[in-house]
Chains A and B, each alone.
Chain A
Amino acid sequence: MVKRETLLEMFYLMVKVRRVEERLLDIFAQGRIPGFIHVGIGQEAVAAGVCSQLEPNDYIFTTHRGHGQAIAKGIDLKRFMAEIYGRRDGYCKGKSGSMHIACKEMGVVGSNGIVGGGIPISLGTAFASVWKGEKRVTVCFFGDGAANEGTFHESLNLASLWNLPVIFCCENNGWAQFTPQKVYMKLENISARAGSYGMVGVTVDGDDVLKVYEEAKRAIERARKGQGPTLLECKTHRWFGHFAGDAQKYRPAKDIEEARGFDPIVKFQRFLIESKYINPEYIKTVEAKIKSEIDEAVSFAESSPVAGEEELFNDVYV
């Protein structure tokens, strides 16, 4: 059985990711953030179930919809927020924004704006772990849409061939931008592809954090023991549009409504209360703690100076 401490940590992470993204939608709508953002509201169980059991020096690769995984991996919310605001105190000096956040110290190797672009790079950190005789694992997150990129095929084959310690975590939210899965793929379960690479593949209910946790645990253990990669497909639901501000005109209202019915936080919270791990008072405390963390992060970000012109020419070359 999962330890109480871990359960509470996952609950905290899920609520934190949700509230951060809700706040981001809010401040984005007010025009306070440059560029554009993609939120994963409704998908929090995947990030929490996987990242809560990673070591700080394990590696993760994320996507354009990567806030949740980075937060769950343990990055500092203040510097994360400052980065999204494009400010100097951000993790990448304000040069990455929402879509390209990276944090070396916490093993967030990089988020990627190219669908499937991070998958081949994740082979490299896994390769380096083996090379150095370290036990660090790599988790490469990507979407259902990314599973149709050629990089998916090349990378899964090579990872399996070389037994690399990587978990390919496909966060299947049923949509690739404005197109639902059944329109672009005959398969129902993307994990079915794993067999063709000689790799273990599993599909789990990605809205059930305990199930995600359980399968991720197996995959991580296999990787740490040198038993090779896993394709872990987590079926979840995207509540909002592809990007913040997307009115989802292409999507039936019923589908959106149904997606919200799978709320992973509601589900987990019910379990925790019924099993007497927490009570409504506890939830209030967690919410209050998270609210103050977010307030602090936002004011930190807003008071950090905007990246200046002197940064324009920095970091093109060493």
Chain B
Amino acid sequence: MKEIRYIRAITEALSEEMARDEDVFVIGEDVGGPGGAFSATKDLLEKFGEKRVKDTPISESAIVGLAIGAATQGLRPVAEIMFMDFLTVCMDQIVNQMAKMRYMFGGIYKLPVVIRAPCGGGLNAGPQHSQCLEAWFAHIPGLKVVMPATPYDVKGLLKTSIRDDNPVLFIENKALYAFKGEIPEEEYLIPIGKADVKRKGRDVTVVATSRMVHQSLEAAKSLSNEGIEVEVIDLRTINPLDKETIFQSVEKTSRLVIAHEAVKAFGIGAEIAAMVCEEMIDCLDAPILRVGAPFVPVPFNLENFYLPNTEGVVQAVKKVMAY
């Protein structure tokens, strides 16, 4: 095992996949010499040359469109969109083109495109550089949405995403880029669509994503001191959703809290809660609670009041326990 930062796990995954498969290339703004806005593509230009590390103009639709067209011809592009918020300027390419081309053309194309983009607050980056929009994309048939929380999951899932023949939106968390974790020295892969039980517990299931996985683990630790054992499930992939792991856990605990950084209203928490109600309401001993951001834009200077945190998870767990 070795210790590595979240951001370098991305770099390693890219570098290994580019070395393994000559059809893989990276494309995006500043990804060449500068190594990307957050340095995810550091040194790739030196290693793989200009043919495979493509610096582009600030043209998100052109970046994604080019990736789609290249993928129809068997190439495997990994496009970097600097902030997840900027996906909104190339939504047509992602939603109407990339996600639908295979279906509407009767399956004639495979579209092995990965779009990497960071989400999340915590950097005082303001309302246009901090959003978590995973629910938008999970709502689109034809896309896969991956959202890892640890360096280990980042590396294994990014490698799998690059090998997947479907379009994958790979959502990173910029507040976690410096986060350190252990990964094996040798190569490994993690399947898309498989959640991970990050902590076992009998009393309450907390399903979390991205940064909220860490907050939930912290909450679980402190609740354990009070005799409440929380099971923390890291979704890792938003779509396809690993229902089985969630259901198995809720069957055991009969209590469910869902924690994500995105705005609580209309988020994936609602989807998971509805799913559990539809299929296993008899198992529940308490209402399902969601922890998420309030229904306001991400504020520049009021993040402390805005961001869902450990205390929020603790309170939600206590509430379902007290029910």
Residues of A near any B CB (own CB < 8 A): 90-96, 100, 102, 104, 109-110, 112-114, 117, 119-129, 131-132, 150-151, 154-155, 157-158, 161, 314-318
Contact = CB atoms under 8 A, between A and B. Distances in A.
Given A109-B69, A125-B70, A154-B57, A120 B64 contact: yes
Interface in B97-113: 97, 101-110
Contacts of A318: 102, 110, 164-166
Nearest to B27: A127
A91 B141 CA distance: 22
Given A92-B104, A114-B92, A104 B109 contact: yes
B66 A124 contact: yes
B59 A158 contact: yes
25 contacts: A94-B106, A95-B105, A100-B105, A102-B105, A104-B108, A110-B101, A120-B61, A120-B64, A120-B65, A120-B68, A121-B65, A121-B93, A121-B97, A124-B65, A124-B70, A126-B69, A127-B75, A128-B72, A128-B73, A154-B57, A155-B61, A155-B62, A158-B62, A315-B107, A316-B142
Contacts of B106: 90-96, 315
B166 A124 contact: no
Nearest to B144: A317
A157 B142 CA distance: 29
B67 interface: yes
Given A157-B57, A157-B62, A158-B57, 9 more contacts: A96-B104, A100-B105, A114-B97, A120-B62, A120-B69, A124-B68, A124-B73, A155-B61, A158-B59
Contacts of B2: none
Contact of B69 (A90, A95, A122, A317): A122
Given A96-B104, A316-B141, A317-B166, A151 B69 contact: no
Contacts of B110: 318
A158 B56 contact: yes
Contacts of A128: 69-70, 72-75
B165 A121 contact: no
B51 interface: yes
B43 to A, nearest CB: 22
Interface in B38-89: 51, 56-57, 59-62, 64-75
Interface centre among A95, A102, A121 (most CB of B within 10 A): A121
Contacts of B57: 154, 157-158, 161
User: What is the interface residue range for chain B against chain A?
Assistant: 35 or more
Contacts of A157: 57, 59, 62
B96 interface: yes
Contact of A125 (B73, B103, B107): B73
Contacts of A132: 73
B108 A102 contact: yes
A155 B65 contact: yes
A108 to B, nearest CB: 10
Interface string B124-165: 000000000000000001101000000000000000000011
A96 B105 contact: yes
A-B interface, 7 closest residue pairs, ranked by CB to CB distance from nearest: A124-B69, A120-B65, A92-B106, A315-B107, A128-B73, A93-B106, A154-B59
| Among B68, B71, B144: residue with most chain A CB under 10 A | B68
B107 A110 contact: no
A318 B104 CA distance: 13
Contacts of A155: 59, 61-62, 65
A122 B105 CA distance: 16
A114 B64 CA distance: 15
A123 B59 CA distance: 12
A314 B51 contact: no
A90 B97 CA distance: 20
Contacts of B62: 120, 123, 151, 154-155, 157-158
A196 B308 CA distance: 48
Interface string B209-242: 0000000000000000000000000000000000
A314 to B, nearest CB: 6
Nearest to B111: A318
Contacts of B108: 91-92, 102, 104
Contact of B61 (A102, A122, A150): A150
A315 B103 contact: yes
Q: Which of A112, A126, A318 has the most CB of B within 10 A?
A: A318
Contacts of A314: 107
A151 B61 contact: yes
Contacts of A94: 106
Contacts of A150: 61
B71 A95 contact: no
A125 B111 CA distance: 13
A91 B105 CA distance: 8
A270 to B, nearest CB: 40
Contacts of A109: 69, 72
Nearest to A161: B57
B260 to A, nearest CB: 24
Contacts of A161: 57
A95 B65 CA distance: 22
A318 B51 CA distance: 28
Contacts of B73: 124-125, 128-129, 132
